[in-house]
Amino acid sequence: MSTMTEEPRDDAKVSLPGRQDAELVSMPRCTRCKLKYLPARSTSALRLTYCSFLCELGDLGFSMTGLETMERARKDDSEAATEPPAAEPAGAR
Ligand SMILES: [Zn+2]
């Protein structure tokens, strides 16, 4: 008899919050101000989450756009990146 227990392992936990209506997809609600908005008009980098970068700033305490710029500037300054991009084997376990 095999005593091996098979545990269901979900490496990718996919949870879709607020999956109720197809309308919610086209008109998402801003996570911060709870207002419906058009993602295409959002000034936030996370335009599927916030209606504007102000809400992004208010909720996160920073803006993704600002972070990107800082990161890039710092890297450029401190080190001349000569490393090749690390090639990760996709799903080799
Ligand atoms: Zn908002």
* pLDDT tens digits, one per residue of 2-34: 566 777 666 655 555 555 555 445 789 999 999
Q: Residue 52 C-alpha to ligand 1 middle, in angstroms?
A: 6
CB atoms within 5 A of ion ligand 1 belong to 30, 32-33, 51, 55
Residue 81 confidence class, pLDDT cut points 50, 70, 90: low
Structure-block tokens of residue 44: 């936030």
Q: For the chain, which residues make up each domain, given as ranges?
A: 23-78
Q: Is the pLDDT of residue 83 over 70?
A: no
Look at the block and give the residue holding tokens 């090749």.
84
pLDDT at site 90: 72
Distance of CA 16 to the CA centre of its chain: 13
